[in-house]
Each structure stands twice: as structure tokens, then as C-alpha cells.
Chains A and B, each alone.
Chain A
């Protein structure tokens, strides 16, 4: 499995944008970039995913470098509820089923603290 590298922890002020980086220098052409987050005492929650182009949804934006060796999850206006561990995961779209390799390998993620 291609590996991702994230900072162990980050802090941000409430109501400011947050940029969470992820390096994946060994990414293959068939890897999707997925982001999940885990709020305290809850199960992980899907945030966003992309392949090559930047993606936006109601929760966040995903900016993918042109060479795809890094990506950034952007929370446009952090709230206290966004305090969580954020995981950047590569998922191979080939292999397994028609949907690709469905397995996700979670690393240690980035623990985001929001300062009121």
C-alpha cells in the first residue's frame, strides 16, 4: 500500500481556515486520495476524496498537487466541532471489485485542535 505522511498535530483558531497537509510521494496513478476524520468517542467519518482534480463538498475542499505527490484538506472556517483526528488515505481504484480495492489502511493521522 502506498504510504501517506501527515503532521502528528496542528492547532487553529476558531472561525479561521485550516489547511491540513498530506504527503504521498509514492502514489500510483490508480490511487484515490481519501480523507476521513474521527471526532472524540466516535467512529471515523468520510470527509472527501479525489483523484486528480480539486474537489469541494459541504464539509471541505481537497486540493491535489499537479504531480499528485501531496494534497491538502481545507476547512474553510473551522469550528470547535471540527476538532478531530484527520486521516489521509490512499485507496487503489484497481483490484478487488468493480469499485477497486475497497480496503482502507488508516495511519496515525493529524490531531487538529481548535482554539476558541
Chain B
């Protein structure tokens, strides 16, 4: 089964440090999404790309978050500087046409 992969699976860091999360979408999928999940806010869409071009990043705090797709096999989400309120599970998803396939997530804890 083709799957979305995410690294790292867990990350503990200190406030102020840079965090980079990586996602490998399913080969052939041209749409990639980044979500964040917390107990308080649930699942929130941060950004999404189609054919590697950013289409919507309105859910993302612009001052500290950035999302890119350097190539079709890699999507990255960076937080710089990280803050304790960024602690959450970050999911990447990819899709061919309206259906999304999610990765296992990166569990981030910012101390």
C-alpha cells in the first residue's frame, strides 16, 4: 500500500528553536495539505499545495511558519522560532482529486 510518510514522528524542542517537519506524499498525488491537531482546536488546515504551488496558507501564522515543496516528493513545514503554543500533532495529507490520504503525523512538544 502506498502511504504518506512523515518525519520525525516525535520532536521535543525548546522554545525559540527552529523545527522542520518533512512529508513524502504518495507518488503521483498532486495535492498536499498540512494540518495541525490540538485538543482545544481540533484539526485545522494550515496550508495546501497543488502541483507544488502554494494555493492557500490562510490558516498558518505567517510570522513564524513557512511551508514549501522543494520537489514533488517532499513537502516541508518549518516553525522559526517555535513557541510552547505550537505543541500539537502535525499531519500531512496528499490526494489525487478531492480525497485525502493522511500520514501518521509528527507529535511536537515545545518546552
Interface residues of A (CB under 8 A from B): 32, 34, 36, 42-46, 49, 91, 93, 96-97, 99-100, 102-108
**Contact A104 B100, beta carbon cutoff 8 Å:** yes
- Count A-B contacts at CB 8 Å: 46
**Contact A106 B31, beta carbon cutoff 8 Å:** no
Min CB gap B31→A, angstroms: 6
| Interface 9-mer from B13-21, B63-71, B72-80, B102-110 | B102-110
* A49 closest partner in B (C-beta): B99
Min CB gap A103→B, angstroms: 6
**Contact A108 B102, beta carbon cutoff 8 Å:** no
4 smallest CB-CB distances across A and B, nearest first, come from: A43-B102, A106-B43, A99-B97, A99-B98
C-alpha gap A10/B23 in the complex (Å): 34
Residue total for B at the interface (Cβ-Cβ under 8 A)? 21
Q: Residues of B contacting A93 with CB < 8 Å?
A: 98
Interface residues of B (CB under 8 A from A): 4, 31, 42-43, 45, 48, 50, 55-56, 91, 93, 95, 97-105
C-alpha gap A104/B104 in the complex (Å): 18
* A45 closest partner in B (C-beta): B102
Contact of B104 among A42, A97, A102 (CB under 8 A): A42
Q: Residues of A contacting B99 with CB < 8 Å?
A: 34, 46, 49
* B107 closest partner in A (C-beta): A41
Q: Residues of A contacting B48 with CB < 8 Å?
A: 102-103
